[in-house]
A = this chain, B = another copy of it.
Amino acid sequence: MSVFRSKGYDGASLNELAEATGLKKASLYHRFPGGKKEMTDAVLDFMEAWINEKVYMVLSNSEVPPQRRLKDAIHNIGQVYGHGTKVCLYRSLSMDTGMSLFGNKIEKGIGQWLESFSILGEAVGKDVETALKMAKQSFIEVQGSLVLSKAMGNTEPFAQAIQNIETRYSS
């Protein structure tokens, strides 16, 4: 996953993937007969499961008060993005090559993200339309701030974006 995230699909070489996994190339092909495409699919499936567990389940857990849910989800999100130092897998894979190969999975993962935050929005009393708008805005701010943080070598934009999101859901 770290290789695909930092190099993208075209930039991720099997030599790097082999080194990162500790397996030789031929062993990777034994486990993923479909080659690099199948390896990427596996990473995307893992990411989808991660969103399900660490974002969706957390934000939709009605046994926990909404503010607490958000804090927990944000904690997870901060972790997976290295608090602004890492790149989003979906962003790395959404170049032309990746979009044509994995567009469906990327769209599904982001859709799950939006639904999660929509549920949270409704839990704090927003109507459906407003909740979706807030969800999109949260996604945009996370992604955009990651671009800015990465490019400027400064995690402040990400931290600020996270704080803005918290503020938005507490009003």
Contact = CB atoms under 8 A, between A and B. Distances in A.
A28 interface: no
A63 interface: no
Interface in A2-31: 6-11
A126 interface: no
Chain A interface size, under 10 / 10 to 19 / 20 to 34 / 35 or more? 35 or more
A119 interface: no
A136 B157 contact: yes
Interface stretch (A44-52, A65-73, A85-93): A85-93
Interface string A114-147: 0000000000000000000100100111111101
Nearest to A99: B150
A161 interface: yes
Given A139-B144, A144-B140, A150 B94 contact: yes
Contact of A7 (B95, B107, B133, B147): B95
Contact of A152 (B107, B142, B148): B107
A97 interface: yes
Nearest to A90: B151
Contacts of A141: 140-141, 144
A106 interface: yes
A42 B94 CA distance: 24
19 contacts: A6-B96, A7-B97, A8-B11, A9-B11, A10-B10, A11-B11, A87-B94, A90-B151, A106-B151, A107-B152, A110-B148, A111-B152, A140-B148, A140-B157, A140-B161, A141-B141, A142-B144, A143-B147, A147-B147
